[in-house]
Homo-oligomer: A and B are copies of this chain.
Amino acid sequence: MKNTQSDRSVRKVVIVGGGFGGLYAAQSLGRAPVQVTLIDKRNFHLFQPLLYQVATGTVSPADISSPLRLVLSKFKNVRTILDEVVDIDPQRKKVVLLDGELDYDTLIVATGVSHHYFGNDHWKAYAPGLKTIEDALEIRSRIFTAFEAAEKESDPLKRRAWLTFVIVGGGPTGVELAGAIAEMTRGSLRDDFRNIDTTSAQILLVEGMDRVLPPYAPQLSAKAQEDLSRLGVTVRAKTIVTNITEGVVTVRHGEEEEAIPTQTVLWAAGVKASAMGQILRDRAGANLDRAGRIIVEPDLSLPNHPNIFAIGDLAHFAHQGERPLPGVAPVAMQQGEYVAKLLKRHLKGDTLPPFQYADYGSLAVIGQNSAVVDLGFVKLSGIIAWLAWVFAHIYYLIEFDNKLIVLTQWGWNYFTRGRGARLITGKDTVSVLSERMKREIFVGAGNDRKG
């Protein structure tokens, strides 16, 4: 892989990662007098805020994904490469890829975060997280397989474990997953089984802090918790997970430890920065925070490296407010646009004031007709908040190519309460299930609380 030889004098901007930050930077540099190369491991941009809807069978992966080439097609100065960055050499200003290397004048790193099991990586096999399309399809298969297994299972204790869903982490993703699962057990799935009553399914949302959605105002957390309860979710606050093994998750609440038999554990708890953080620490002396995020300057560059920028979830920006900016899409988008604007100003010999995040508020959805919205000056919940959530998401999807499909699918689901995308896919569904059903895993686990 070599740089295009066309014009040696044109400034080369290399962007690593096609998420909200990288894509917005690339789009903002479209038609600018620079040569942009966007590198991503995937050939599509993922609208991550709706990934939980793939995991719970409402929409399809392609409905919330846009091919990067399609989105960037009209910008002739932008090219896309499907590759992975394995190293960076700031001295020679080169990015090392799996296939070759690339020169850069400006480097924008936007590779985001992945799951973090707090040192318990072996939990991963039992408790998948939700970051990629593959994660979402894995979770979707697990959820719907659990109901199929319960329908076939004659042992009441085992059946109970198949009908118990434990979601670890009470942030937006955990709340969305728990709400969506509860809603389907009480709604779309209710009439589809003959041997089980899906409305009896237990959905447990486990959160270490004292309430769900901890960064939100306490009254919104309370409202969310109320709505979750109404849907059928049991919120276990101030509760931490101490172990996860096949068929059992162990939690602790104060002094009390409990083993919960369950076949479905979903991980929505911790995140850690992607490996680019460490690469930039080793190669460019970047300072990382405890989560591995890069602590950036007021203009989002790295200290002593004014031509290297970190944006989005990977960046720790602490120059505004008491805490660093949260890892949400609007921050990444604004940072991508900021760096693009900064480069364009630099080309004209101009400058730009430090990055300033314009916070239009936070949104978290709980279920149909139920969400919480914190706009700072006003706090909304219920159907008004839900409509705000729907419109905000459609507004953003409009910028890509999928709005029509998602809108249709949502409308269709809203009126039919169907869950048409609840496919169990992957190889050997039945034999894997058969193996799992035959295992004796609950012996002695019961539902006993140890004081």
Q: Which residues of A contact B (CB under 8 A)?
A: 1-2, 4, 41-44, 57, 60-63, 65-67, 69-70, 73-74, 76, 79, 81-84, 98-100, 133-134, 137, 144-145, 148, 151-152, 154, 188-189, 191-195, 401-402, 404-405, 408-409, 412, 416, 418-427, 429-431, 433-434, 437
Contact status of A420 and B405, CB under 8 A, knowing A69-B192, A73-B191: yes
Find out whether the CB atom of A82 lies under 8 angstroms from the CB atom of B430: yes
Contact status of A98 and B434, CB under 8 A, knowing A401-B418, A423-B133: yes
Known pairs A43-B429, A134-B425; list 7 more (Cβ under 8 Å): A42-B429, A43-B144, A65-B423, A67-B423, A70-B418, A84-B431, A405-B420
Contact status of A420 and B4, CB under 8 A, knowing A42-B429, A133-B425: no
Find out whether the CB atom of A408 lies under 8 angstroms from the CB atom of B404: yes
- A134 contact from B63, B82, B426, B437, Cβ within 8 A: B426
Number of identical monomers bound together in the oligomeric complex: 2
Find out whether the CB atom of B133 lies under 8 angstroms from the CB atom of A67: no
Determine how close the nearest CB of chain B comes to the CB of A114; give it in whole angstroms. 14
Residues of the B chain whose Cβ atoms lie less than 8 Å from the Cβ of A430: 41, 82-84, 98
Residues of the B chain whose Cβ atoms lie less than 8 Å from the Cβ of A145: 82
Find out whether the CB atom of A148 lies under 8 angstroms from the CB atom of B82: yes
Residues of the B chain whose Cβ atoms lie less than 8 Å from the Cβ of A422: 43-44, 62, 67, 70
Contact status of A431 and B73, CB under 8 A, knowing A42-B424, A43-B422, A62-B423: no
Residues of the B chain whose Cβ atoms lie less than 8 Å from the Cβ of A402: 420
User: How many angstroms from the CA of A1 to the CA of B2 in the assembled complex?
Assistant: 60
- A73 contact from B66, B84, B192, Cβ within 8 A: B192
Residues of the B chain whose Cβ atoms lie less than 8 Å from the Cβ of A43: 144, 148, 422-424, 429
| Nearest chain B residue, comparing its CB with the CB of A78 | B194
Determine how close the nearest CB of chain B comes to the CB of A103; give it in whole angstroms. 16
Most buried by B among A2, A405, A412: A405
Residues of the B chain whose Cβ atoms lie less than 8 Å from the Cβ of A57: 62
Residues of the B chain whose Cβ atoms lie less than 8 Å from the Cβ of A66: 420
Most buried by B among A82, A154, A188, A404: A82
Find out whether the CB atom of A427 lies under 8 angstroms from the CB atom of B60: no
| Nearest chain B residue, comparing its CB with the CB of A62 | B421
Determine how close the nearest CB of chain B comes to the CB of A348; give it in whole angstroms. 26
Determine how close the nearest CB of chain B comes to the CB of A381; give it in whole angstroms. 31
Contact status of A82 and B433, CB under 8 A, knowing A154-B2, A402-B420, A423-B65: yes
Find out whether the CB atom of B401 lies under 8 angstroms from the CB atom of A420: yes
User: How many angstroms from the CA of A402 to the CA of B416 in the assembled complex?
Assistant: 12
Residues of the B chain whose Cβ atoms lie less than 8 Å from the Cβ of A100: 152
Find out whether the CB atom of A194 lies under 8 angstroms from the CB atom of B79: yes
Find out whether the CB atom of B416 lies under 8 angstroms from the CB atom of A405: no
- A412 contact from B74, B82, B405, Cβ within 8 A: B405
User: How many angstroms from the CA of A81 to the CA of B147 in the assembled complex?
Assistant: 11
- Can you offer 23 A-B residue contacts whose CB atoms are under 8 A? A4-B194, A41-B429, A43-B422, A43-B429, A44-B423, A44-B424, A57-B62, A60-B60, A61-B423, A67-B420, A67-B423, A70-B418, A73-B191, A82-B148, A82-B152, A83-B152, A83-B430, A84-B431, A98-B430, A134-B426, A402-B420, A405-B405, A405-B420
Residues of the B chain whose Cβ atoms lie less than 8 Å from the Cβ of A42: 423-424, 429
User: How many angstroms from the CA of A421 to the CA of B57 in the assembled complex?
Assistant: 17
Determine how close the nearest CB of chain B comes to the CB of A394; give it in whole angstroms. 15
Determine how close the nearest CB of chain B comes to the CB of A299; give it in whole angstroms. 30
For the complex of A and B, 6 pairs with smallest distance between CB atoms? A60-B60, A62-B421, A69-B192, A82-B148, A79-B194, A98-B434
Find out whether the CB atom of A401 lies under 8 angstroms from the CB atom of B416: yes
User: How many angstroms from the CA of A430 to the CA of B83 in the assembled complex?
Assistant: 6
- A192 contact from B70, B134, B188, Cβ within 8 A: B70
Determine how close the nearest CB of chain B comes to the CB of A146; give it in whole angstroms. 11
